[in-house]
Each structure stands twice: as structure tokens, then as C-alpha cells.
Chains A and B, each alone.
Chain A
Amino acid sequence: MSYSPTSHVTDQQLVAQVVGGNTAAFGQLVRRTEGLVTQLVFKMIRHPADRPDVAQEVYLKVFKNLAGFKFQAKLSTWVGQIAYNTCLHYLEKKQLVLVDLAEPAPEDAAEEGRRAPPTLVAGPDYDPEAALFDQDLAGILGAAIEQLPPLYRTLISLYHQQELSYEEIGQITSLPDGTVKNYLFRARQVLKQRLLATYKRNDL
């Protein structure tokens, strides 16, 4: 069967081609899903030298298990699930933590956020809006995100950059939707606090 990388085949057709022995079609499957996989690997694996191996391991697992994939979820979600679990396994092997245990449990954090008055109170002469407009924001923001625990980085990336829904993120991470929301709430709160702290420090 001839295969053209530009042909507009559906995910189902693509999977059928690969399962039928057309390994070249697997390249198209990789190109279709590598954006999500790359984000997951970059956010969960801090050591740059390990990322290429982990990403390739993800796709070798996808290839090995593709015949058993019955489209219970979207292809990209299923690949994302494998990527997340592969990264998780990497973190476990390296004995790295997914979320800082010193942080409050997600349920507690959300409750705290609902009940308590704002913990971040800007000074009278401090204008966060103006500060956040700073042209250096991207660099500072990127660095601040890198300082977050792997799960927080991942959730922020999946929700705000990949624009996945809570449900899709829940499927990828095997976390309940409520837990995803609570972790994301906590991640954004920590991120905002650290950014504002950085700006305040720079102002001094």
C-alpha cells in the first residue's frame, strides 16, 4: 500500500495502517502526537539529557501496544497517557517527587483558597498588572514554571498551553477531575506568588 505523509487519514485509518505492517505510517502518528508528548516529557523530566531517551521509549511502547488500542479514548489522549506513565516511571526510578510533599494536599488547598482571605496582598504602590506586562515576562515566567514540582508544571502546560480540558488531563494523568482542578489551582497560586515575589525583589 502506498503511503503519503500528506494524506489526510483519520486516526483510525492511521492505526490500522501501522497495525497492518506499514511501519512508515507510524512516523505520521509520531508527528501527530509529538507536541503533547514533548510537552509532557519536558515538564516532567528536569534533566535535559534524559528527555530524548524517554520520548523515544514512549513511542516504542505506543508501537508495541498499538494493536491493543481500541479507541476507548482519543489517540492523542492514549499516547499522552503512555507518555505520562513513562515519565512517572522515570521519576520513580530516579526517586524524584512528583509534587512537593511540603505543599498542602490538593483538597485542603482548594478549601483554603475558598475560605481564606487572599494571602497575597500587594503593597499600595505595587501594580501587578503593570508588572506582568513587562517584556521580560516570558523569560521570568518560563523560569518560574521550571521551578515548580513536575506535576504542577505538567498541569499548567496541559491546561494553558495544550488547551486540554480537565477531563482529558484526568484521563492522561489518571487523576479525578476534582483533583486535577485542585492541583491546578494550587500550581497557579504558587506560580503567581513566586512571580510577584520576583518582581518585588527586582523592584527593590
Chain B
Amino acid sequence: MTLHLSEYDLQLAAEGAPLPVAAAEHLPSCPRCQAQLAAYQQLFAATASLPPSAFDFNLAAAVLAQLPPPKPAFPWILVLVGGLVLGMVGAFVALFGSLLVPVLQSLSTGLGVGVALVIGAIVAGQGLELLAQHRRQMRQLTFS
């Protein structure tokens, strides 16, 4: 009795994989198995040449539009600069505090408040400028 190639062997042969000896010997002399092998070969070739599925919109653009906005980085530089400034002020007060007290006491109250306000405004302005500059730099680093 002649046993034809099983479906499994036909698929193996269509992929070009080695066949069991009996199947390899049978195939050249059997038109039916050859026809079925040809069917699988054509099926594989036709499947490989099918046009790939594709979306009718720009997937990358759609995804980018949905990404969450980047979290602002922690302003390490600002914190460092602020710490340095506070340290210097602290050191200045510690070293020359005893000299400053009589000077400040000799100033009238109105003048003292005015001087303090001016110094406070200058420090706040410098701080805001530093923050704005830091943000500009981060934007350039990330998106340019």
C-alpha cells in the first residue's frame, strides 16, 4: 500500500525543510503528492506577497499628540545657587553681625524698611530671571 505524504510532511517540504527518508523517497514518484506540495508552495508564496495591512492615518503623529506632557525637571541648579547665596549671607551675618547691629539701630525705622524692601525686590527679580533662564535652557535641551 502506498502511503502519501501527510499534511505535516507536505508543509515541511513546502518550507524546504528536510523530509523523513520514506517521504523523501516517495515524493518524486507521486504526482498527487507533488500537486499538493505545489499547492502549499503557492499558498505560502501568495501569503507572503499579500499587501500588508495599513492604517489610513499617521499613527506616529496620533500617538505623539496623545503623549503626556513631559514633567518639568527638578530645578537642581536653582536650589544649588540659592543654597550658595544663603550660605554666603549666613557667613556674612555670622562674621559681621555684631558690627551691623549698631549700624541698623542708628538708622531710622522708615529708612530701614525702605532698604529692606529694595534688597528684597532685587533678590526676587534675580531669582525670577534665573528661573526663566533655566526653563529656556531645558526647553532647548529637550526639543530643539
Q: Do A and B actually bind?
A: yes
Please list the residues of chain A having a beta carbon within 8 angstroms of any beta carbon in chain B.
1-2, 21-24, 26-28, 30-31, 34-35, 38-39, 42-43, 51-52, 55-56, 59-60, 63, 110, 113-122, 127-129, 131-133, 137-138, 141-142, 145, 156, 160-161, 163, 185, 188-189, 191-192, 195-196
Interface SS majority for chain B: helix
A191-B50 CB under 8 A given contacts A34-B60, A56-B59, A116-B6 = no
Known: A1-B141, A60-B63, A141-B43; 17 extra A-B contacts, CB below 8 A, are A23-B142, A27-B64, A34-B59, A38-B54, A38-B55, A55-B59, A56-B66, A59-B59, A60-B66, A113-B6, A113-B11, A118-B10, A129-B39, A142-B50, A156-B47, A185-B8, A192-B40
Partner of B36, one of A128, A160, A195: A128
Tell me which of A39, A43, A161, A196 has the highest count of chain B C-beta atoms within 10 A of its own C-beta.
Answer: A161
Q: Are B47 and A118 in contact (CB under 8 A)?
A: no
Q: List 9 A-B contacts (CB under 8 A).
A: A21-B142, A27-B61, A28-B60, A30-B60, A56-B62, A59-B63, A60-B67, A118-B36, A138-B49
Residue in contact with A129 in the complex, picked from B42, B51, B62, CB distance below 8 Å: B42
Number of A-B contacts (CB under 8 A): 138
B55 CB to nearest A CB, Å: 6
Given the known inter-chain contacts A39-B52, A137-B46, A145-B47, please indicate yes or no for A132 contacting B39, CB distance below 8 A. Answer: yes
Question: In the bound complex, do residue B64 and residue A23 qualify as a contact, i.e. CB atoms below 8 Å apart?
Answer: yes
Instruction: Report the separation of the CA atoms of residues A161 and B49 in the bound assembly, to the nearest whole angstrom.
Output: 7
Q: Are B50 and A52 in contact (CB under 8 A)?
A: no
In angstroms, Cα B54 to Cα A42, docked, is 8
Please, how many angstroms separate the alpha-carbon atoms of A191 and B55 in the complex? 25
Bound CA span A196–B11, Å: 16
Whether B7 pairs with A38 at a CB distance below 8 angstroms is no
Q: Does B48 contact A (CB under 8 A)?
A: yes
Given contacts A24-B64, A34-B60, A160-B48, contact A195 B43 (CB under 8 A): yes
Q: Does chain A have a CB within 8 A of B143?
A: yes
- Contact flags B1-41 to A (C-beta < 8 A → 1, else 0): 00111111111000000000000000000001001101110
Query: Nearest chain A CB to B17's CB is how many angstroms away?
Result: 11
Any A CB within 8 A of the CB of B106: no
